[in-house]
């Protein structure tokens, strides 16, 4: 069995049944689970199959300084399930030597993670948008793998507004300029994970002028389920309809490289279709600087691997719980593949640029 309590106090747990060999030993890399949350040989299954003790919860790790603590225990299958052994696994988010510095400069509110060593380091701006607040998990893990990462909040953090009615791209431009000061250089590479081909919900502004309207939605199209969570895959209006053209992102005007990642079982919205629209638009304009990958059986929330699969949680736009889609085993495999893919993409396209500059940090 495995159990862990997140930063919000929600308990996540899992269990699987194994048969020990003649020496009383179990090797998770060799031996299959016979029953429980998963079956078959799944060395990390006890981690990704953990589920919350209450409905519609997603594991929350707010501060990268707090490790992901997992208690493992081995029980006899018969009788009262007597505990035979137990241990606590400390899964750190920040590797040795990584420096975490809160950033409050100008309008920027976020955290900068710097890898150990002199550099130069390839730099990354890490963005989570809807939902507000700040997420440090992905940024700290990337920094632990040699990237200088700035993760910023758009709202709902520090002295930023709790809610916003529009997104000002000047803020993100300021964050990019801040990063450029750290590395004395820049290069535009984008990793797009389960996004949309249009700007959604909040209009985009730049230099106090609206540059993109927001693609809106019809919540009447949300599909209720027995769990109380809703399927929102079909609530967004059609981004290709004439009346919504102002929300489309003219991606062909971008000069950088793209990595598109889409989950084929995303129940939040149709990520695969939106990815295909972006790829088709780039091809139509003769653009070739992109890669794309899609994952069957994966849901909306693709994150660094080996965390609990999130079946449903609160959707801030819907104002209710939403089903995110996917099947746990396939979703976990997608996260493993995606995590390596992202690092390879960033390293291949950023390292050559960073090598020309000496980092300040």
Identify whether 266 is a catalytic site residue.
yes
Q: Provide the Cα torsion 163, 164, 169, 170; round to 10°.
A: -80
Contact 296, 265 (CB under 8 A): yes
Identify whether 187 is a catalytic site residue.
yes
Tell me the pLDDT tens digit for each residue of 221-237: 999 999 999 999 999 99
Written in H, E and C, the secondary structure of the chain is: CEEEECCCCCEEEECEECCCCCCCCCCCCCCCECEECCCECCCCHHHHCCEECCCCCCCCCCCCCCCEEEEEEEECCCCCCCEEEEEEEEECCCCCCCEEEEEEECCEEEEEEECCCCCCCCEEEEECCCCCCCCCHHHHHHHCCCCEEEEECCCCCCCCCCCCCCEEHHHHHHHHHHHHHHHCCCCCEEEEECCCCECECCCEEECCEEEECCECECHHHCEECCCCCEECCCCECCCCCHHHHHHECCHHHCCCEEEEEEECCECCCCHHHHHHHHHHHHHHCCCCCEEEEEECCCCCCCCCCCCCCCCEEEECCCCEEEECECCHHHHHHHHHHHHHHHHHHHHHHHHHHHCCCCCCC
The Cα diameter of the chain in Å comes to: 72
Tell me the pLDDT tens digit for each residue of 190-199: 999 999 999 9
Tell me the pLDDT tens digit for each residue of 137-156: 999 999 999 999 999 999 98
Give the confidence band of 131 by pLDDT, cuts at 50, 70, 90. confident
The whole-chain average pLDDT of the chain stands at 93
Tell me the pTM. 0.94
Which residue of the set 300, 330, 331, 349 is catalytic? Answer: 300
Question: How would CATH label the architecture of 2-91?
Answer: Sandwich (2.60)
Q: Mean per-residue pLDDT for 180-185?
A: 79
Give the confidence band of 360 by pLDDT, cuts at 50, 70, 90. very low
Domain boundaries, the chain: 2-91, 99-350
Percent of the chain with pLDDT over 90: 86
Tell me the pLDDT tens digit for each residue of 38-60: 999 999 999 999 999 999 999 99
Identify whether 300 is a catalytic site residue.
yes
Which residue of the set 33, 266, 270, 349 is catalytic? Answer: 266
* 99-350 classified as CATH 3.30.413.10: no
Which residue of the set 187, 263, 313, 330 is catalytic? Answer: 187
């Amino acid at each position: 069995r495995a159990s862990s309590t997140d930063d919000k106090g929600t308990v996540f747990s899992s269990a699987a049944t194994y048969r020990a060999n003649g020496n009383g030993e179990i090797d998770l890399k060799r031996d299959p689970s016979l029953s429980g949350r998963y079956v078959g040989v799944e060395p990390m299954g006890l981690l990704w199959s953990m589920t919350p003790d209450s409905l519609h919860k997603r594991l929350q790790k707010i501060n990268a300084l707090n490790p992901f603590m997992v208690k493992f225990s081995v029980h006899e299958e018969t009788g009262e399930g007597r505990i035979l052994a137990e241990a606590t696994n400390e899964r750190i988010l920040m590797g040795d030597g990584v420096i975490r510095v809160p950033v409050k400069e100008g309008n920027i509110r976020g955290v900068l993670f710097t890898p150990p060593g002199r550099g130069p380091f390839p730099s990354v701006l890490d963005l989570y948008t809807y939902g507000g607040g700040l997420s440090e998990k992905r940024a700290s893990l990337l920094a632990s793998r040699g990237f200088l990462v700035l993760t910023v909040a758009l709202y709902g953090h520090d002295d930023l507004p709790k809610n916003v009615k529009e997104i000002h791209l000047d803020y993100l431009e300021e964050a990019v300029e801040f990063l450029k000061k750290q590395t004395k250089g820049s290069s535009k590479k984008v990793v797009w994970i389960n996004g949309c081909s249009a700007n959604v919900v909040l209009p985009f502004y730049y230099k106090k002028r609206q540059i993109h309207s927001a693609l809106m939605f019809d919540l009447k199209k949300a599909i209720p389920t027995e769990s109380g969570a809703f399927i929102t895959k079909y609530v967004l209006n059609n981004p290709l309809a004439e009346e919504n053209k102002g929300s489309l992102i003219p991606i062909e005007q971008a000069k950088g490289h793209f990595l598109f990642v889409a989950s084929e079982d995303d129940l939040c919205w149709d990520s695969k279709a939106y990815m295909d629209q972006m790829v088709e638009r780039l091809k139509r304009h003769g653009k070739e600087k992109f890669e794309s990958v899609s994952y069957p059986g994966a849901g909306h929330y693709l994150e660094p691997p080996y965390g609990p699969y999130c079946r449903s949680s609160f959707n801030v736009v819907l104002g209710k719980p939403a089903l995110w889609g996917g099947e746990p085993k396939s979703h976990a495999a997608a996260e493993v593949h995606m995590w390596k893919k992202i690092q390879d993409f960033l390293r291949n396209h950023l390292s050559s640029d960073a090598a020309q500059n000496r980092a300040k940090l």
